[in-house]
Amino acid sequence: MSLRFRLIVLALLTIVCLLLTLPSTWKDSWNAPAWLSWMTEPSVNKGLDLAGGVGLDFAIDLDKVPEDRRPQVLSGIRQVLNGRVNSLGVSEPEIVFSTIGDEQHVRVTLAGVSDIEEAKKIIGKTIQLEFKVPREKPDAERSATMRTMAESFLASWKAAPDTEKKLLEKARETEPGNVYNGSKTVVESTLDPAFVKVLEATKPGEFTSEVVEATLSVDSGSELSTVRGMIAAKLTKKDKELVRSPKNNVSMADVNKEFGDAPSADLGMLTPKTDLGQKSWMSTQMASMEAGQVSDVLDTEDGFAVVKMNSKYTADQEVMKASHILFTTTDAGNAAATPEETANRDAVAKKSAEELLVRIQADPSKFDELAKQNTQEPGGKERAGDLGYFTKGMMVPEFETAAFALEPGQVSGVVKTQFGYHIIKAVEKKPQGEIWADMSRILVCYKGATDSACAKATRSKEDAQKRADEAMKKLREENVYGFDYALFNTTEDPWEPAVLDGKQLTGEYFKKADAVYQQGSVVPIVRIEFNDEGAKLFEQLTEKYIGKPMGIFVGGQQISAPTIRSKIPGGVAVIEGGFTVKTAVALARDLNTGAIPAPITLSGQEIVGPELGQGAFEKSILAGITGIALLSLYLIAYYRLSGFLAVLSLFVYTIMYVSVIKLVPGFNLTLASVAALILSVGMAVDGNVLIFERFKEEMNKGSNVAANIKKAFERAWSAIRDSQVSSLITAFILFMMGTEAVKGFAVYLIFGIILSLFTAIWVTRVLMQACGAMGLYKKSKK
């Protein structure tokens, strides 16, 4: 690798790291493109000692947990809490277990969290294991219950609009998973008519006068779903808009009677080969419009037009339309016909077909008339033998081969199939990829328009355009409503708790869960074991519901619903959910920490301020800057050029350190990270000093700068390596045996040592070689 290339790499690395370390407030006005967001968006994540946060204390009820399983439960709770904390995007959380009196507690301290209620909701939730069976009887009271809840919500919302969030939280505590809310702006045709009726009577800015039971498309997490329920709403917008694909049920025929000049709006099936389809303005609409869409007003030579695409089809293979005349060779009323009778009938049918073909060839225009008189196909006479459109594969091979060999207007010879003898006429043939468009048109004429319907038109072009605009608005205009809503689901849950003799099968009877492999395979499953009472209840329930599914729910979410094939003794259930090893282990862990009767209850909370760490942080920064400044002056004064290069190397080290803290989610700015940074700077200086001393010795022996630089690094490396390895060993010991804060310091120190090795060995070397190549060392003597 050439020196020039290494200098370019070093320069680019320095520029990128420097841009990353700049304060985010400086970069807000850059308007950088999206692909540079990794450089402009990262900011320093402050730890608890600098940012403050929230402290939550939970009491753990271990009364029903066997003594020998308590360590496993506590370990699992720590893992679950860590996962929940990570979902909040919190940096460097503190999770500490303690014993207060006879109670086991866990304290969770979260840095930088401002919404304490959200933190409590996520951290303190309980994982619930439930078994359910299909609901047998409808819940007759559900609709009335949800109406009462919705009416109470609407009344409270009207009285205090700012309390909507708290009201929703309260409702969801009573009906988890059944209360939806959001904001929508939609056209009237997509709404339930019952809901529209209420919105029509409401003014923008006002609440609906009553709760209405209706269906609504709601956001249920990852997708939209249609839910029926009691809706309370506040109207935010009421307007009219032109919709490209209207669903207002306005008829083209009715609009044509009111505004159009053509006898009919129906254009039938168009293709690029039809007369109208060949016109450029129509072919453009055929290609660009989708089914259900209505165009803008089109200024054409035929007149002003508004067209609607009723349906559209692009042929994925060749399509044929044909008619035929059939002479059958079978007798439906004589199933037991002898071979002689069958042969005779075949001969008669063939002769009749050949004689009729001669007449058709003499005058092909009489094909339809002769088909009505002669075809023996059931129902064929009424259709004049019309078979409609078909593609290859839809007819028997003999018929298909003959039909697709014809061009439109041609008549085949006599064709024999299993049904009898056919004479086929090709009516239409459409190649693969051709567009078929069923379209309607409102034509508004003006004087000079070329369509035959406009021959006697006297209307001016300006008046015609206004008339066409009115027609287009009538077709496309729809009422639009914007509203905030809360929907209380009245749809009955298809599941109900698995209950027998008043006992419900839940986590109360749970003993443990394990991730295991299905017998005879490598498919991971989760094995659930019940206690003695639960085993008996599970056996009785499985006997009662043989042939029906049993739903297994964790935290309210359905995991699986296996069908019960037989009574299951032994108190063991299996969850098969298409698991990977990782997801099976995770589910077993969640069950062991959430379903075991060891609930966590919030017993205390506090806001943790950053004041205690802020003063120490400012003093640490000041001390670090002062120390580095004095060190830099000493290095430059004593080593001159080499000292200046060492200062540059330390600068690169510092900005790289801060860049990593900004980019890596797990790295946060804390007192520990600042202390580790300052300490590792000293270690980096040690490496530079060793290199410079060896370089001085080599320079005293000879003047070949490049060779002296190489020897200096080779001789200094063993001492640098041993020093840094001993420091790494110390840091690893701190990490393995220290408290959370000490572990954090150790991690930052390990990273700092590795980074200081890079800057001392590679960055300093590149800078020294560059100065040597420019002859600067000959002038400075050092």
Phi-psi region of 533 (alpha: psi -120 to 50; beta: other; left: phi over 0): alpha
User: Closest Cα partner for 129 from 465, 655, 497?
Assistant: 497
Confidence of residue 274 (pLDDT cuts 50, 70, 90): confident
State the SS3 of 542-571.
HHHCCCCECEEEECCEEEECCECCCCCCCC
Q: Enter the pTM of the model.
A: 0.42
The mean-pLDDT minimum among 259-263, 415-419, 694-698 falls in 694-698
| Residues whose CB falls within 8 Å of the CB of residue 650, separated by 6 or more in sequence, listed in order | 628, 632, 681, 684, 685, 759
> Is the model's pLDDT at 12 over the cut of 80?
yes
Which residues share a beta bridge with 110? 54
> Is the model's pLDDT at 596 over the cut of 50?
no
Based on the fold, state whether residues 669 and 768 are members of the same structural domain: yes
Q: Are 712 and 690 in contact (CB under 8 A)?
A: no
Based on the fold, state whether residues 350 and 415 are members of the same structural domain: yes
Based on the fold, state whether residues 208 and 283 are members of the same structural domain: no
Based on the fold, state whether residues 294 and 422 are members of the same structural domain: no
* Domain annotation covers residue 254: no
The rounded distance, in Å, linking the Cα atoms of 61 and 105 is 9
Domains: count for the chain: 6
Based on the fold, state whether residues 469 and 339 are members of the same structural domain: no
pLDDT of residue 86: 60
Most confident of 91-95, 221-225, 373-377: 373-377
* Domain annotation covers residue 259: no
Confidence of residue 336 (pLDDT cuts 50, 70, 90): low
User: Closest Cα partner for 472 from 266, 302, 305?
Assistant: 305
Q: Output DSSP code: residue 377.
A: S
Q: Which of 608, 639, 666 is the last residue of a domain?
A: 608
CA distances from 674 to 50, 613, 724, 753, 756 (A): 11, 12, 19, 14, 15
- Residue with the bigger pLDDT between 738 and 529: it is 529
The mean-pLDDT minimum among 47-61, 93-107, 211-225 falls in 47-61
pLDDT of residue 780: 47
Residue-wise pLDDT tens digits, 508-528: 677 788 888 877 677 888 888
Which residues share a beta bridge with 479? 240
> Is the model's pLDDT at 695 over the cut of 80?
yes
Q: Output DSSP code: residue 30.
A: S
* Domain annotation covers residue 256: no
The rounded distance, in Å, linking the Cα atoms of 102 and 534 is 29
* Domain annotation covers residue 252: no
User: Closest Cα partner for 325 from 349, 289, 297, 293?
Assistant: 349
Residue matched to tokens 């034509």: 443
Q: Are strands 103-111 and 266-270 parallel, antiparallel or unpaired?
A: unpaired
User: Closest Cα partner for 91 from 139, 142, 48?
Assistant: 48
| Phi, psi torsion values for 316, nearest 5 degrees | -90, -5
| Phi, psi torsion values for 774, nearest 5 degrees | -85, 0
Mean pLDDT for 35-44 is 55
What integer best gives the mean pLDDT of the chain? 82
Mean pLDDT for 384-396 is 88
Based on the fold, state whether residues 694 and 639 are members of the same structural domain: yes
User: Contacts for 402-405 with beta carbons within 8 Å, 24 or more apart?
Assistant: 403/320, 403/322, 404/318, 404/320
CA distances from 71 to 56, 65, 68, 101 (A): 21, 10, 7, 18
Q: How many CB atoms lie within 10 A of CB 476?
A: 21
> Is the model's pLDDT at 599 over the cut of 90?
no
CATH number where 504 lies: 3.30.1360.200
Q: How many CB atoms lie within 10 A of CB 334?
A: 11
| Phi, psi torsion values for 90, nearest 5 degrees | -85, 140
The rounded distance, in Å, linking the Cα atoms of 653 and 757 is 10
The rounded distance, in Å, linking the Cα atoms of 286 and 484 is 39
Based on the fold, state whether residues 616 and 705 are members of the same structural domain: yes
Q: How many CB atoms lie within 10 A of CB 530?
A: 22
* Domain annotation covers residue 257: no
Q: Which domain holds residue 209?
A: 142-245+480-489
pLDDT of residue 417: 93
| Residues whose CB falls within 8 Å of the CB of residue 733, separated by 6 or more in sequence, listed in order | none
User: Closest Cα partner for 705 from 635, 782, 628?
Assistant: 782
Mean pLDDT for 696-720 is 83
Phi-psi region of 201 (alpha: psi -120 to 50; beta: other; left: phi over 0): alpha
Q: Are strands 266-270 and 411-417 parallel, antiparallel or unpaired?
A: unpaired
User: Closest Cα partner for 157 from 231, 215, 229?
Assistant: 231
* Domain annotation covers residue 11: yes
pLDDT of residue 48: 62
Q: Are 750 and 667 in contact (CB under 8 A)?
A: no
Q: Output DSSP code: residue 432.
A: T
Q: Are 621 and 615 in contact (CB under 8 A)?
A: no
Of all residues in the chain, the percent with pLDDT exceeding 90 is: 29
CATH number where 113 lies: 3.30.70.3220
Integer distance in angstroms from the first to the last C-alpha of the chain? Answer: 26
CATH number where 341 lies: 3.10.50.40
Residue-wise pLDDT tens digits, 730-752: 888 888 887 666 777 888 888 88
User: Closest Cα partner for 690 from 630, 639, 631?
Assistant: 639
- Residue with the bigger pLDDT between 73 and 343: it is 343
Residue matched to tokens 């001669």: 358
Based on the fold, state whether residues 379 and 454 are members of the same structural domain: no
pLDDT of residue 597: 44
- Residue with the bigger pLDDT between 45 and 611: it is 45
CATH number where 631 lies: 1.20.1640.10
pLDDT of residue 742: 78
Based on the fold, state whether residues 336 and 380 are members of the same structural domain: yes
User: Closest Cα partner for 764 from 672, 650, 632, 601?
Assistant: 650
Of all residues in the chain, the percent with pLDDT exceeding 70 is: 84
* Domain annotation covers residue 255: no
pLDDT of residue 154: 95
Mean pLDDT for 466-474 is 96
Residue-wise pLDDT tens digits, 312-334: 877 777 888 999 999 998 765 45
Based on the fold, state whether residues 333 and 308 are members of the same structural domain: no
The rounded distance, in Å, linking the Cα atoms of 550 and 531 is 19
Based on the fold, state whether residues 191 and 208 are members of the same structural domain: yes
The rounded distance, in Å, linking the Cα atoms of 105 and 84 is 17
| Token couple for 307 | 């067209």
Q: How many CB atoms lie within 10 A of CB 566?
A: 9
Based on the fold, state whether residues 154 and 300 are members of the same structural domain: no
- Specify the length of the chain in residues: 782
- Residue with the bigger pLDDT between 221 and 565: it is 565
Residue matched to tokens 């409270």: 156
* Domain annotation covers residue 250: no
Q: What is the SS3 assignment for 114? A: coil
